[in-house]
C-alpha cells in the first residue's frame, strides 16, 4: 500500500477523507498531523482522534502541529464547520492519546526514516505544517514521493475572498514555500471539488452502514446547509476526500500540469492560486492542477470503502 501522512484541520470533509484513508486497503496511514485552520489546533487535534475512533482505529499516531500561520494571524471557518469544527452529530471526547512531540517533527522524522521517495503527503488544510517542516529540514524535500493537496481555485475562484480559496488564503506564505519546493505536487482546487457534490441520492448508501454511516450523514447534513444556501447547488462540495481518492485511483480525475504561483503581497488577491491553465506564460509547470472528476465513481469509491469500517 501507498504510505501517506495526512495533515488536516477537521472539518467534516477532512473527517470523511480520514475515514476513506483508514478504510482503503491501498493506503497505509503512517500518522495524522493536525493543523490550525477551520478551527484552532487544539480542536482539530481532538477532532482527528474522534474520527479515528469512529473508524475503529484508536492506534493511529496523531500529533498536534502548528497553532497558526507562518506570518499572519489565524483565520478560522466556524461559519462553515460550526464551533467545534465537526458540528452535526454529538461524538464523545476521544480516549485515544495525542502523541507527544510536534506534528512538524513527526513529518520530518518519518520522511527521514522511511526509504526516500516512498512517503506521500496529503494536506487537507492550510500548508503551515508542511512548509515549516521544509524550512526546518530542507533535506526531506527531495525525499517526498508526492504531495496531493486540497487547495486553491482557478475558474471557481474564491470561497473566502473573491480571489482565494480558504486553505491557501489562511497561510499564503506556507503555500508559496510548498509550490516552490519542486516536489511533485497534485492540486485538488475548488474547480474539481465543486463537481463532487453530496446529493441526497449519494448519501443513501450511508443509511445502511450503522454508526459510521449515521455519523457521516450527520456531518454532511450540517456541512451541506452552508453551500446549498450559498451556491444553490445540488449539495455541498466534498472537498478533502478527493485528495485520498486521487491517491487510490488517479484515473477518475483529469487535470493539466501547469505553472501555479501563490499571491502573497496584494491586499486584494492575497492567497490566490495564479494558475496558468491556458499556458500563456513561459513559467515552468510545477503542479498537476485537477479540473474534473468522475463524480459517480468518486462516490462509489467512498461508499465502498467507508462501508467496510
Just list the catalytic residues.
239
Report residue 296 as a C-alpha cell. 459517480
Least distance (Å) between residue 240 CB and ligand BDR: 5
Which residue from 63, 134, 154, 166 is in contact with ligand BDR, where contact means CB under 6 A?
166
Least distance (Å) between residue 17 CB and ligand BDR: 9
Q: How far, in Å, CA of 123 to CA of 36, rounded?
A: 12
**Nearest one of 24, 42, 26, 23 to 34, comparing CA atoms:** 42
Position 154 contacts ligand BDR (CB under 6 A): no
Residues of this chain, 55-84, that bind ligand BDR according to CB under 6 A: 77, 80
Least distance (Å) between residue 153 CB and ligand BDR: 8
Q: Which residue, 108 or 147, has its beta carbon nearer to ligand BDR?
A: 147
From residue 108 to residue 147, the character string flagging contacts with ligand BDR as x (rule: CB under 6 A) and all else as - is ----------------xx----------------------
Rg of the chain over Cα atoms, rounded to whole angstroms, equals 18
Least distance (Å) between residue 77 CB and Ca ion: 9
- Tell me if residue 106 falls in helix, strand or coil: helix
Evaluate whether 295 touches 196 at the Cβ level (below 8 Å): yes
Residues contacting residue 40 through CB under 8 Å, at least 6 positions apart: 67, 74, 76
Residues of this chain, 2-31, that bind ligand BDR according to CB under 6 A: 11, 13-14
Report residue 5 as a C-alpha cell. 501522512
Counting Cα atoms < 13 Å in the Cβ hemisphere of 190 gives 22
Contact residues: Ca ion, CB under 5 A: 9, 11, 14, 124-125, 240
Cα distances (angstroms) measured from residue 146 to each of 20, 142, 223, 286:
19, 10, 29, 12
Q: What number of chain residues touch ligand BDR (CB under 6 A)? A: 15
Cα distances (angstroms) measured from residue 76 to each of 24, 122, 222:
30, 20, 17
Query: Pick from ligand BDR, Ca ion, none: which does 80 bind, CB < 5 to 8 A by kind?
Result: ligand BDR
Note the residues at the interface with ligand BDR (CB under 6 A): 11, 13-14, 38, 77, 80, 124-125, 150, 159, 165-167, 239-240
Amino acid at each position: 500500500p501507498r504510505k501517506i501522512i495526512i495533515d488536516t484541520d477537521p472539518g467534516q470533509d477532512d473527517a470523511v477523507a480520514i475515514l476513506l484513508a483508514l478504510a482503503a486497503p491501498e493506503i497505509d496511514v503512517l500518522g495524522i498531523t493536525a493543523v490550525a485552520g477551520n478551527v484552532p489546533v487544539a480542536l482539530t487535534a481532538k477532532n482527528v482522534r474522534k474520527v479515528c475512533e469512529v473508524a475503529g482505529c484508536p492506534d493511529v499516531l496523531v500529533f498536534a502541529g502548528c497553532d497558526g500561520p507562518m506570518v499572519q494571524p489565524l483565520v478560522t471557518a466556524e461559519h462553515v464547520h460550526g464551533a467545534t469544527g465537526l458540528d452535526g452529530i454529538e461524538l464523545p471526547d476521544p480516549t485515544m492519546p495525542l502523541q507527544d512531540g510536534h506534528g512538524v517533527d513527526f513529518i520530518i522524522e518519518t520522511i527521514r526514516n522511511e526509504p526516500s521517495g516512498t512517503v506521500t503527503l496529503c494536506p487537507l488544510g492550510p500548508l503551515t505544517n508542511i512548509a515549516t517542516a521544509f524550512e526546518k529540514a530542507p533535506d526531506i524535500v527531495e525525499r517526498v514521493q508526492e504531495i496531493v493537496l486540497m487547495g486553491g481555485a482557478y475558474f471557481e475562484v474564491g470561497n473566502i475572498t473573491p480571489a482565494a480559496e480558504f486553505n491557501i488564503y489562511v497561510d499564503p506564505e506556507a503555500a508559496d514555500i510548498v509550490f516552490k519546493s519542486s516536489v511533485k505536487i497534485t492540486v485538488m482546487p475548488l474547480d474539481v471539488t465543486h463537481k463532487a457534490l453530496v446529493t441526497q441520492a449519494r448519501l443513501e448508501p450511508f443509511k445502511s452502514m450503522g454508526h459510521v454511516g449515521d455519523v457521516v450523514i450527520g456531518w454532511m447534513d450540517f456541512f451541506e446547509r452552508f453551500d446549498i444556501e450559498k451556491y444553490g447547488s445540488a449539495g455541498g462540495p466534498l472537498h478533502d476526500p478527493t485528495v485520498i481518492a486521487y491517491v487510490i485511483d488517479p484515473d477518475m480525475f483529469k487535470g493539466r500540469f501547469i505553472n501555479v504561483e501563490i499571491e502573497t503581497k496584494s491586499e486584494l488577491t492575497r492567497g490566490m492560486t495564479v494558475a496558468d491553465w491556458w499556458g500563456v506564460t513561459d513559467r515552468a509547470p510545477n503542479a498537476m492542477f485537477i479540473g474534473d472528476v468522475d463524480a459517480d465513481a468518486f462516490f462509489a469509491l467512498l461508499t465502498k470503502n467507508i462501508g467496510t469500517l
